[in-house]
Structure formats: structure tokens, C-alpha cells
Amino acid sequence: MTFRKTCLPKRWSLRVGCLVVMGHLTMPASAQPSASDDHQPDFESHIRQLRDKLPHDGFTIRIESPFVVIGDETPEMLERRCRQTIRWAVQRLKRRYFAHDPEHIIDIWLFKDEESYEKHVRELFGSEPGTPFGYYSARHRALVMNISTGGGTLVHELVHPFIERNFPDCPSWFNEGLASLYEQCGDDDGDIKGRTNWRLAGLQRAIAADNLPNFQTLCETTRHEFYREDPGTNYAQARYLCYYLQQSGKLREFYHQFVEDVADDPGGYTTLQTVLETDDMSGFQEQWQRYVMRLRFP
């Protein structure tokens, strides 16, 4: 697996983990709330409130704990996206990294095309979408997707609410690096594995032009610097550092060590050195850049 609606009737009900929308729609056991969390989401109350703000009756709602998925494609397509993208990714991400579900129920809005996406973002959230693909809004507790662009952005954005819950002090570079790793991913013997993607070409150009910050600079970027003062390489450099760690079998170790040591190492630079088992980060960057230049996409 690689990552590239209908009527909500006036009368509906919830029954022990299932949502009745135009018939009986069961929430599978694999989507039940995690036993590792000490709270049980109140889906019934949440969906009651959600129903009142639906733009029209062409939407289907699906529980995919800890998420509620709302879409204006057919119910069959929504079910397929829940099973093949959301559940597939969440199960694997939780096995590798995340002990706890997001603290609150998160809505996943899957709009069927660009027109639906732009129109409903304005109606529901009172703003223009800042990206044609999709985004996560912590304020609105929502992932908002133009799903016609593919499932990659959806998997990317799924990472953010889990980071928010499990690693609240995570710096932007690693938050986006890890999320970006999985915007192009596949199954590797039951595990989730990032693959090369479209960000590679720009990174290779920056390396060839000797125009890439060192890893200490990347690790020390503030949120503002990462997003607003990005020289055009921040996402790609962070992603392909995560990709290298993944391919070296060190990414999971780095994540858990970073979570443990973040109070003393807020940017993760010392943790990175420890996991890489090197003090020569200049030498490592040269090695990493040679490695990146040999990668290919597609």
C-alpha cells in the first residue's frame, strides 16, 4: 500500500460503539479507544454537536477512534479511506511511537474535491485554506483534507495530533520531519515505512549549490524560523534526516530517546549525536549529503 457521502438522515443513533447512518455502520474492534488511555471519548455527545454544524445532508460520519471522520464522498469510499489509510497508518504509528491517543476527539474532514474543500473550509472555519492539500488545526481539533489530492497529506497530518499528545515539547523540525516522512509511505512487513518523495529534488539542488544549513542550525530553529524564515529546505532536510535514521534502523530509538531527554536537549542535537554514535557532525553531514544525492524519486 502506497499513499498518493452521502445523506446524513434526520434520524440517527449511536449504539455501543457504532454509528447508524443510513443503516448499521459498525465501529471495528481495532478502532476502539486505546486501553492505554485513562479516558473514554464521548462520541455520542460529540456527534450530536457535530451533526448540527454539517453544511448539508450530503455528508457521512464514521467513527474511527480516536477520530471522527466526516466526508462528502460515498459511504463506501469513506469506509475504504478509514480502513485503508487512517486505521492502517494509526495502528502502525502507535506501535512505533505513540503510547497515548490525542486527549480530545479529533475530527477528520475529507472533502471530495477542490471546490468542496475551499467552500466548506470557509463555511466551517471562517478562513481560506492555506494549502491546496490539507492541514491540521489544533485550535479546531480538526484535520481538514482535499482528499482528491491523495492520502499522503492525510497520513502526514495524522502524525501531528499524536505528537501534540505524546511529545508536547517537540520542536517544529522533528514534528514536520516525522510527519513529512510518512506523506509517501508503504507497508514493510506490517510496519509503516517512509519512501522517497517529491521533496528530494529540491534538497538535492540545495546540496549541489552548497546551500544547506548544518544539522545544529536545523535543530536550533525556532517555530517562527522553521515556518516563516524557511530558506526552502527545512521540511526536506528534516524529512530526509528522518529517512536516513529510518533506513539505518535508528529512527524509533531517536524518537523515544528524544522524548526522554527533551528537557536537557530541547532541539535534539545532542540526542542525534548519541543515536548516531558520533561527535563529528560535520563528517556525518558530508556522509548524509552523499547518501541523499544517491537517492532517486520516483
92-118 confidence digits (pLDDT tens): 999 999 999 999 999 999 999 999 999
User: Cα–Cα distances in Å, from 67 out to 24, 118, 132, 281?
Assistant: 19, 22, 22, 40
Pairing of strands 67-71, 106-111: parallel
Q: pLDDT tens-digit profile of 60-96?
A: 999 999 999 999 999 999 999 999 999 999 999 999 9
Query: How high is the pLDDT of residue 1?
Result: 61
Q: How confident is the model at residue 296 (pLDDT cuts 50, 70, 90)?
A: very high
Supply 19's cell numbers: 454509528
Reply yes or no on whether the pLDDT at 124 is more than 50.
yes
Whether 224 shows a pLDDT value over 50: the answer reads: yes
Rounded to the nearest integer, the mean pLDDT of the chain is 90
Task: Classify 67 as helix, strand or coil.
Answer: strand
Q: What pLDDT does 38 receive?
A: 56
Residues 165-183, mean pLDDT to the nearest whole number: 98
Which region among 16-25, 84-93, 157-166 has the lowest average model confidence (pLDDT)?
Answer: 16-25
Residue 10 has pLDDT above 60, yes or no: no
Percent of the chain clearing pLDDT 90 (strictly above): 86
Select the CATH number that applies to the domain covering 13-166 from these four: 1.10.3470, 2.30.29, 2.60.40, 3.40.30: 3.40.30
Per-residue pLDDT, averaged over 229-250, amounts to 97
- How confident is residue 30, by pLDDT bands cut at 50, 70 and 90? very low
Quick check: 213 and 233 in contact, CB under 8 A? Answer: yes
- Helix, strand, or coil (residue 276): helix
Alpha carbons 253 and 277: distance in angstroms, whole number: 12
For the chain, give the percent of residues with pLDDT over 70: 87
Nearest to 194 by CA among 153, 246, 235: 246
Does the N-terminal peptide bond of residue 161 adopt cis geometry, omega within 30 degrees of 0?
no
Range 131-140 average pLDDT: 96
H or E segment and range at residue 188 = strand 185-188
Dmax over CA atoms of the chain, in Å, equals 65
Domain boundaries defined on the chain: 13-166, 174-294
Distance (Å, whole) CA 251 – CA 234? 18
pLDDT confidence band for 40 (50 / 70 / 90): confident
Residue in this structure with the C-alpha cell 495502528, named with its chain if needed: 91
Q: What is the mean pLDDT of residues 271-286?
A: 98
pLDDT for res 37: 60
Q: Using 50, 70 and 90 to split pLDDT, how confident is the model at 31?
A: very low
Tell me what pLDDT residue 68 has: 98
Q: What's residue 14's pLDDT?
A: 32
